[in-house]
Amino acid sequence: MKIGVIGYGLRIREVIRHIKLIEPAVRIAGIVDVRDFPELKDEDGRAIPIFSAASDMLAAQKLDGIMIGTRCSEHTDYALVVLPYGIPLYMEKPVSTSMEKWKELYKAAAIYNNTPVVVSHPLRLTSIVQKVKAIVAAGDIGDIAHVQAANNVPYGGVYYHAWYRDDSITGGMFLQKATHDFDYLTDIIGCRPERVCAVASKQVFKGNKPAGLKCKDCEDNRTCEESTVGTTEEENWPYCCFAEDTGNEDSGSALVEYENGVHLSYTQNFIVRRGAGTRGARVVGYKGTIDFDFITGIIKVIHHHKDQEDIYRFGAGDGHFGGDANLAANFIGVMKGKENSISTLQEGLRSALLCLKAKESAQTKNYQEIVEL
């Protein structure tokens, strides 16, 4: 099978690695990227064509699949180009970074609804989430009544040292991180979100250092706790995270109400380090509570009315706790025409809409209704 790649960055290369581990015969038939690459060759030593526009690649190559891995603000633009061709599409999250682009993509998704799309929301496909869903489905905790979730990110520096610091590209941290969490949590709850209120703040990664300052050029780079000078991160995380041009909030929280009355409390921050990192949730029912954490790989089921706790342990998994491999396998099946997407564009749109409305709520200090067009 031949795939075309739009935006040949680190993230999409990681997904392609998983695809080739499963299906070694897959080949990259063309790349569209804003950067100038030295000659790239496939496993057979053949040069991979580089195109200046997606339309040129689509005209020149017969493709079995297309993958969009550009920077976030361009995801929608390229999807609008690709969808009319009907070729299976793998699309990085978030699917849109503004309401204007979200509306365009929503309309295109309805028009080209026969184009299969797999959105990069791998957490829903992890063994942990699948096990939690199975426990809920078995009735072990009763109906879900309340969900408490947290994402304390121990590698938050990437969002202030690297290109991610530009929130005109990322759309802010709800769209960057909560889009994953809102997706898998909504999948567990199994219901449509109706409204959201949220707050966000920037308490740490702010300052008055000059715009564009790099750590290597800063006089404080030997004393600053965030300096990347002399570390393995220096090349990819070069900028000062206390400069005046650093965007992105460094913490945020949201309260989401679902149409069945369940409410989700969610909080994220990018300040913690080392062992303070957590990512997971507490799912509460009348009969029991499920606690799980992706980082520890542990699920604990606490039974409320009997003296019993069930513990499940999972390995760390390769790439998003094992979700990347499962998502890659699904995309292969979609390209072969043997499977339907298990992370659809409609679900990607719903997650992005929830994030956009959370961002709007934090800015306006008002509840926002999650009303699809």
Same-domain check for residues 91 and 105: yes
For the residues 112-135, what does the mean pLDDT come to?
Answer: 97
The confidence score (pLDDT) of residue 107 equals: 97
Report pLDDT digits (tens) over 320-346: 999 999 999 999 999 999 999 999 999
Same-domain check for residues 99 and 131: no
The confidence score (pLDDT) of residue 42 equals: 81
CA 223 to chain centroid: 33
Q: With CA atoms as reference, report the closest residue to 257 among 210, 176, 329, 192.
A: 192
Q: With CA atoms as reference, report the closest residue to 103 among 82, 85, 69, 76.
A: 76
CATH number, position 177: 3.30.360.10
Same-domain check for residues 82 and 158: no
Same-domain check for residues 146 and 249: yes
For the chain, how far is it from start to end, CA to CA, in angstroms? 36
Same-domain check for residues 166 and 221: yes
Report pLDDT digits (tens) over 253-298: 999 999 999 999 999 999 999 999 999 999 999 999 999 999 999 9
For the residues 136-147, what does the mean pLDDT come to?
Answer: 98
| DSSP character at residue 366 | S
CATH number, position 35: 3.40.50.720
For the residues 335-359, what does the mean pLDDT come to?
Answer: 98
Report pLDDT digits (tens) over 44-66: 788 999 999 999 999 999 999 99
Lowest mean pLDDT among 43-52, 78-87, 194-203, 269-278: 43-52
Same-domain check for residues 117 and 128: no
Same-domain check for residues 150 and 207: yes
Residue 318's pLDDT band (boundaries 50, 70, 90)? confident
Residue 39's pLDDT band (boundaries 50, 70, 90)? confident
Same-domain check for residues 131 and 237: yes
List of residues 6+ apart from 106 with CB closer than 8 A = 349, 372, 373
| DSSP character at residue 337 | T
Same-domain check for residues 116 and 130: no
Same-domain check for residues 209 and 105: no
Number of C-alpha atoms within 13 angstroms, CB side, residue 233? 16
The DSSP bridge partners found for residue 258 are 193
Q: What phi, psi does 189 have (nearest 5°)?
A: -65, -35
The confidence score (pLDDT) of residue 319 equals: 86
Q: With CA atoms as reference, report the closest residue to 125 among 319, 338, 283.
A: 319
DSSP state letters, 210-253: PTT-BGGG-TTTTT-TT--TTSTTTTTS-B-TTBTT--S-SEEE
Number of structural domains found in the chain: 2
> Is the confidence at residue 303, as pLDDT, over 90?
yes
Residue 373's pLDDT band (boundaries 50, 70, 90)? low
Mean pLDDT for the chain overall: 96
Same-domain check for residues 300 and 332: no
> Is the confidence at residue 4, as pLDDT, over 80?
yes
Which range of residues forms the domain containing residue 361? 124-317+350-369
The confidence score (pLDDT) of residue 75 equals: 98
Q: What tokens appear for 216 in the block?
A: 């290597």
> Is the confidence at residue 251, as pLDDT, over 80?
yes
What pTM does this model have?
A: 0.96
The confidence score (pLDDT) of residue 65 equals: 98
> Is the confidence at residue 9, as pLDDT, over 80?
yes
Same-domain check for residues 181 and 269: yes
